[in-house]
Every structure is written in C-alpha cells, then in structure tokens.
Structure 1
C-alpha cells in the first residue's frame, strides 16, 4: 500500500449545528453541536486513514484558533506537519434547518498568508516522504495562484505522484504545470476552467479528455452531484450515474471521493474500480448531515449499487 501526504493551505474548524428554523435577528437555540478539522486535504486524510491507509497532513495553522485545529486533528489521530502562520485559522459553519431540511453553509475566505509563511511551507514540502501528494482545497489570500504548480515542480521530479482538487486559477495553473496522476474538478470547476458551458456528457467528456490528451493528467474525474461522475483516461471516458439515495448534506462529498479513489489506486486497484469506489464514497459522505464524511461500512454497502464501469 502506497502512503500519501495531503496539503491543506486553507484549513477550517468545521462546526455543525441543527436548528428548528433559521430566522433573522432572533437568537436561535441549536443542538447536535459538532466540531471537526476540515479543509480539503485534511478531509481527504481523515477518510484515507479510515480506509486503512497512512497519511500525513501538511497544513497552515495560526492565531487563537490554530491550537484548536491542531487539537482536533490530534483527536482524529492524524499524523501532522503544522506550518505556523500569524493569521487565525478560519471557522466554517454548517447549519441544518429542521423545518425545511435545508442546509446553510458559511465559509470565510481565510487568513492572509505572507510570502515568508508560504515560502516556509514549500521548504517543508521539499522534505516530504510519501508516494502520493494530494493538493486539495482553496488557497488563502496572499498565496500565489500558481502555488500548487510550484509544489508539483518541487515533488514530481522525485517520483511522487500528484493529485489536484481545487478551483479557479489554482486549478488552471496546476493543470498547466501537468505531471498529475489525478485531477478532480466538479462540473462547475471544469466549466470555469474551459471558459465555456458544458451542457451534456459529450461536452464534459471532451473537455476532460483534452486534459488527458495533452499529457497534463493521467486521470480526470469530473463529479456532477446528482448527475453522477465521469472519468477520462487514455482510451476514452466512462460515465457513472448518481446513486439513488436521500442526501442529507453536501459537505465533504468531493473530498471523500478523492480519498477513496486515491486509496484504491494506492492499493493497486485498476482505474475504473477506483473510480467506482470514489463514487460510492462521495455518495456515502452525504448520507448524514454535518461534517462526518464517508464511513467504510457505508462505502462498502453503496459500492454494490454502483453500476459496473
């Protein structure tokens, strides 16, 4: 089994509550309060370790909230390398309204990160000891948009396989750098990357195959929410429809997808099997409200519902 490291440049303390009804001005009493370490790479590591793998988390942490994030990561028994910053770690809130079943999500932009701080991060990453590096999540203010491309230039020549899950300019520059094992955009992120609307599977598949055909990534997995997912690889594309489940949350589906697909690849499963497991994990993550992410028993159960690839 290959080992992974994950990079989270803009981590969060994820807090979730339930409330009867969301009303402006009024004080609303909540219940079912939960706190969890969050952000793309940390979420990926949480699920990857649940599945039996080994993962190290590289992440930024600072301010009065930084120690709280560190403690939450320790509670999840994740191996960690903390890059200290001055700005406070952000806190994201997920609110479930019982009256309507609707979910409300509030996510700050994150702290400003200085050049010295993100430079220190690159110095630590240069010493990373892993088989696969998963670069996941947004970049906080102050970090250059080509940061993930810089990490790839640093690690890919050492034979470390690179996985990218981000959006906007960070996605564009990361793909332009290439040397990626896997890139996982959502349908919206892929459309933004291409600069055009992608109205059907043919257009989605063509856009994903362009990335593969130019040698930028070996695999492109496009997640499409309730419309399923599409995988592009040498030889063509494969589409899997979404599973018919009652979704209670949207939190962590993409991260769970990445974690499970990368875990399957790391244990030697073929690309299409890994893709099917990724879809099952993404579906498992949304079964319950809050920030718990995918659980192995749910992934195993839902995998039996995934169509053969």
Structure 2
C-alpha cells in the first residue's frame, strides 16, 4: 500500500498534521473497579489524534481542510474509513506497525471518565521524511498548517521544529498544540502556540501557581521568539492570550460536560478558522472557547455542532486586558 491522496478541487485553507493518530474507542460501565472484569455497554469508534480532530471540526465550521497522518494495520484502515466518512479529505502515509488505539470508559455511577492512551507505532526515518514531504506539498496555497498531538516512538523530539522551519520556507503560519519533548524542543517560528498550564510549565521549567505566573511564562515564550502568540487553555477557567503587544484573559462558557475528550482540539480548530476569516486573535480565541464548550456536549470524540458553537460565541464574555509585571 502506498500514499493515498484525497482529491480536492482547490487548495485547502487548513492543513493538519497528526503524527500519532488513534482509533478512539469510548464505552461506559456502571462502576470501574481494580481487578474485577468491567462489563462495558456498547462502544463508539471515532478517528482520533489532535490534527484529525482539528480537521474534522474545522470542516464542520466551514473551512476547507486536508488531514495528513500515518496509518497502519486494521486499526489504521478503520481510522481512514472513519475520516473519509466524516467528509475530511486526507493523505495517508502507510506505515508498517498498526495505528494505536485509545480507550475511554465513562463510569455511570460517578460521572467520572477514565482514559487509557497507548504510545503508538514506531515511525522510521523514511516515514518521517514522507510525512514532511506531504506537508510541504499540501501547504502550498494553504492559509494555515496545524501540527497537533503527541510524537510517536522513533520520532526525534525536535521534529516539530523541523515542521516549523518547513512552514517558514513556504511562508505558511504554523499553529502548534503538543506536549512533552515535542513542545520543549521547539525554538522558533510558530505563529500560534496553544498550551495547557502543565505544558507551559514544561516549557519554562518552573511552577506556575498564579495567573500572573502563567501570563509571564507565555510572554517569555513570545519574547524568546518561540511563537508570535501563546494561548494558555485553562479548562473551566477560560484561557489566556499573550502577544508582544498585549495580554488578555478570557472567561469560559459553563456547560454540563458529556465528554471532555477533544475540547482542546475544538478550541484550536475554531481559532484557526477564525484567523482564516481574517478575524483578530482576540475574536479567534473567543471562537475557540465557544467551540471547546460545544465539544463538551458531544459523546466520545464526536465533532461538535456548528449551531452550538455559534450560539456559545454569542455568550462568551469579552476579553479583559491584563498587565504583566516582569521580574
């Protein structure tokens, strides 16, 4: 099996790269206990991985998209079928090892969610080169490239810096959402970096106990040239935005959560769609918060509904400017 390219009539607005896609399996049980067999009721299968989720939701929000990812084995075949069924054009890079599976169990008695994530297949140097070539080809004429998700075994931690350098050469802004070594080894060239507080803490190597600490750390990444803008997602507390010109605080939209899986990816998707419409960063982050809230209403990693996103956008509070005192 070779590389497969979905036909498109025009260049996509948003190109996504998922280095470690997954077959997301979601089920539920009355109680989750150690040692006992857990009898689960039914199963939902969704294509997963950061970039794939971003592409699915950006498509729902009206953007033209193209998803690039490696896939192998029966699980990879099913991921591709599910992506195709979602209407997302994609390019599959065939690999030898099977695509990973991720398993989520919702405990009905408590409302808690248990998530089990496997490390993923090992990608060869040749696999990595073909993925970069696919990004280079797809990015021509695109408005944004989004690299989202973890790096699988065999991929060096500076891989996303190589993606950033590639995007710089073809003059396409890069939006990055990752963690671990894939994040800490990024040095420059990212247009928009989205990070949780934990991921931001990994970047700067210190505790970030207060909002002021978090904004100062985000501003530090901007000052170092890692990213033009940094968005810090705070879950139910909203988000923070730092650029060289200003820092802002955004409040969240309170919703009753069905599943928290994919909310961050929905946020990234909506921010990129907003930017592709020439919205300001501030308005794009508000759109991202609305999409993240809408995603909380969906089971598994099912894509949120566009009507919900638009409805929540109407009630996302306006951003507040925040001053940062530097040490």
TM-score w.r.t. the length of structure 2 is 0.90
Q: Distance in 2 between matches of 1:207 and 1:259?
A: 24
- Gaps of at least 5 residues in structure 1 are none
Q: 1:134 aligns with which of 140, 146, 155?
A: 146
Match of 1:152 in 2: 164
Q: Distance in 2 between matches of 1:15 and 1:103?
A: 13
Q: Distance in 2 between matches of 1:21 and 1:288?
A: 21
Q: Does the alignment pair 1:239 with 2:241?
A: no
Which stretch of the first structure deviates more once superposed, 262-271 or 284-293? 284-293
The answer (yes or no) to whether the contact 2:12–2:66 under 8 Å persists in 1 is no
Q: 2:182 aligns with which of 166, 170, 182?
A: 170
Deviation of 1:182 (Å) = 0.4
The answer (yes or no) to whether the contact 1:132–1:162 under 8 Å persists in 2 is yes
Distance 1:108 1:123, change over 3 A: same
- Post-superposition Cα deviations, 1:250-284, rounded to whole Å, max 9, x if no partner, equal 20011000000110000111111111111111111
Q: 2:234 aligns with which of 221, 224, 238?
A: 224
Q: Distance in 2 between matches of 1:125 and 1:190?
A: 26
The answer (yes or no) to whether the contact 2:298–2:304 under 8 Å persists in 1 is no
Deviation of 1:81 (Å) = 0.6
Q: Distance in 2 between matches of 1:122 and 1:290?
A: 30
Q: 2:211 aligns with which of 201, 204, 208?
A: 201
Match of 2:4 in 1: none
- Post-superposition Cα deviations, 1:70-129, rounded to whole Å, max 9, x if no partner, equal 111111111111111101101111111111111111110001111121122222222223
The answer (yes or no) to whether the contact 2:254–2:293 under 8 Å persists in 1 is no
Q: Does the alignment pair 1:60 with 2:70?
A: yes
The answer (yes or no) to whether the contact 1:213–1:234 under 8 Å persists in 2 is yes
- Post-superposition Cα deviations, 1:215-246, rounded to whole Å, max 9, x if no partner, equal 33221100011222101113221101222222
Match of 1:22 in 2: 32
Match of 1:5 in 2: 15
The answer (yes or no) to whether the contact 2:136–2:170 under 8 Å persists in 1 is no
- Post-superposition Cα deviations, 1:140-188, rounded to whole Å, max 9, x if no partner, equal 00011111111121221211111110011211222x0x22210001111
Deviation of 1:32 (Å) = 4.7
- Gaps of at least 5 residues in structure 2 are 1-10, 320-327
The answer (yes or no) to whether the contact 2:14–2:145 under 8 Å persists in 1 is yes
Deviation of 1:25 (Å) = 4.4
Match of 2:278 in 1: 268
TM-score w.r.t. the length of structure 1 is 0.95
Root-mean-square deviation (Å): 1.6
Q: Distance in 2 between matches of 1:300 and 1:126?
A: 33
| Secondary structure of 2:137's aligned partner | coil
The answer (yes or no) to whether the contact 1:65–1:90 under 8 Å persists in 2 is yes
Q: 1:286 aligns with which of 290, 296, 308?
A: 296
Deviating runs (4+, > 3 A) in structure 1? 23-29
Q: 1:181 aligns with which of 175, 191, 196?
A: 191
Q: Distance in 1 between matches of 2:113 and 2:59?
A: 27
Match of 2:322 in 1: none
